[in-house]
Amino acid sequence: MLESTKMAVLGIVVSRLDYCNLLLYGTSSDNLNKLQMTQNALARVVCQAARTCSATKLCCILQWLPVKQRIDYNVAVRLTK
């Protein structure tokens, strides 16, 4: 069940975050914080964790980079192609 939920989240939501990376590069910290909160909520849903559970640890378990690092990484990869 966890694996299929994780696949659905990755396919639908996380791909949308990655799609906008070039547009989000250099955006305000307010926008990044909102996206990070979204990613944190998704990590809790995927892992079926309580709202009080540390999302940072869950993202590490899921091997998800924080939003800012994810944007920087994807932009760097696209620019080197």
Alpha-carbon gap, residue 77 to 35, rounded angstroms: 21
pLDDT digits (tens, 9 = 90+) for 17-41: 777 788 889 899 999 999 999 899 9
Per-residue pLDDT at 31: 93
**Percent with pLDDT over 90 in the chain:** 43
Cβ partners under 8 Å of residue 65, min gap 6: 59, 73
Asked whether the predicted pLDDT for residue 1 surpasses 70, the reply is no
pLDDT digits (tens, 9 = 90+) for 37-51: 989 998 898 888 999
In the chain, what are the domain boundaries? 2-79
Cβ partners under 8 Å of residue 36, min gap 6: 66, 67, 68
Structure tokens belonging to residue 67? 């939003």
Cβ partners under 8 Å of residue 62, min gap 6: 6, 43, 46, 47
pTM confidence score: 0.80
